[in-house]
Amino acid sequence: MLRQALRIGFSDTSFAIILNHTPCQCEDLWSILIGIDRVSIVEVPRGHAVDVGAVSIEVVAREAYEKKRLGKQTRRKLKAATELMREKVDA
């Protein structure tokens, strides 16, 4: 379901990096670095017959995402993922 929602919401997801996943009772929350400067917050409802239209996608600037209360592991992932994307762009 996450993959389908990303394909609908974004034209190119060939280099999307998952920064964080938080499972909740009714939904799964995903933070995904989409580009060097954009993070997508995706809410995927749980259930067998969930429609892709029920998925919520919010895009925030990487700088705004960094200002949120993030754990050490998520901060490290964000830093490493940003460096990987910069290398890809520079190549």
The stretches of 15-70 forming alpha helices (DSSP H) are 62-66
- Reported as a single tens digit per residue, the pLDDT across 65-84 is 999 999 999 999 999 999 99
| pTM of the predicted model as reported, rounded to 2 decimal places | 0.83
Structure tokens at 26: 């009714």
Quote the number of domains for the chain.
1
Distance CA 62, CA 79 (A): 10
Residue-number span of the structural domain to which 21 is assigned:
2-90
> 66: exposed, middle or buried (C-beta count within 10 Å: 0-12, 13-18, 19+)?
middle
- The amino acid sitting at 44 is V
- Reported as a single tens digit per residue, the pLDDT across 1-47 is 777 778 777 877 777 899 999 998 889 999 999 988 999 999 988 87
